Amino acid sequence: MPFAPAYPLLYRALKPLFPNCLWSGDAACRTIALTFDDGPHPRFTPQLLETLERYSVTASFFWLGACVQRSPTIARDVYEQGHWIGLHGYDHRSFPLLSAAALKETLVQTQAEITHACQLPSESVRDVRPPNGLFTPNTLALLQQWQYRSVMWSVVPEDWVRPGTTTVVQRILQQVENGSMIVLHDGYHGGADVADTVAQLIPLLLAQDYRFVTIDQLWQDRSS
């Protein structure tokens, strides 16, 4: 049974309860953020990059450390094309199931793989999206204590179960609004369709006068 219809309800319920997290952007601005979890993938991510480049769209990627370790050159390509990078844990273990020490380790390991692959300064990647969007207040408190920024979502079309690109695009168009943060996947689950999905989606959103921004820009808009 698909859970896609529940995500808009969860978003509206959780956003006011956890206001320190980034759930979406400014509702007064016609900006949206395309975000991609679970990569980089050796085949799906390069396909996605080609599509984003074709439309001159800058996106945000939340990476698994193990995937960066396997595909460091692709990770570097993503970074060099100007996309924003965040952490998604080393191997997609649910954050609430981890001890504080294990949680910190998965973030530090992922950070190390990213900074090595992309030749970035140590500890320069500070945005974190919990795997599966699962967290507890204690998880968020630890992330804040360690000076990470918690990033969530507002539009989740459940692309990882591969309902078909038409269905994924329709779900996004039904939910998208000013400031939306759209979650798609370029990893092993859902990544096979991501380039086609984005190729269909971007022109439709551009036709509605949306402008694509990164997670960093949403944070900046929030603090201005």
Alpha-carbon dihedral sign for residues 69, 185, 18, 10: negative
Q: Which two tokens stand for residue 48?
A: 């996605």
Query: 29 with 55: CB under 8 angstroms?
Result: no
E-strand spans in the chain?
Answer: 31-39, 60-63, 84-87, 127-128, 149-150, 181-185, 211-212
Q: At what angle do helices 165-175 and 194-207 cross, to 10 degrees?
A: 40
Residues with active-site annotation: 37, 185
Closest CA to 159 of 169, 145, 150: 169
In the DSSP assignment, the letter for residue 22 is B
Q: Which two tokens stand for residue 26?
A: 């400014």
Alpha-carbon dihedral sign for residues 114, 117, 123, 126: negative
Closest CA to 18 of 135, 183, 96: 135
E-strand spans in 57-168?
Answer: 60-63, 84-87, 127-128, 149-150
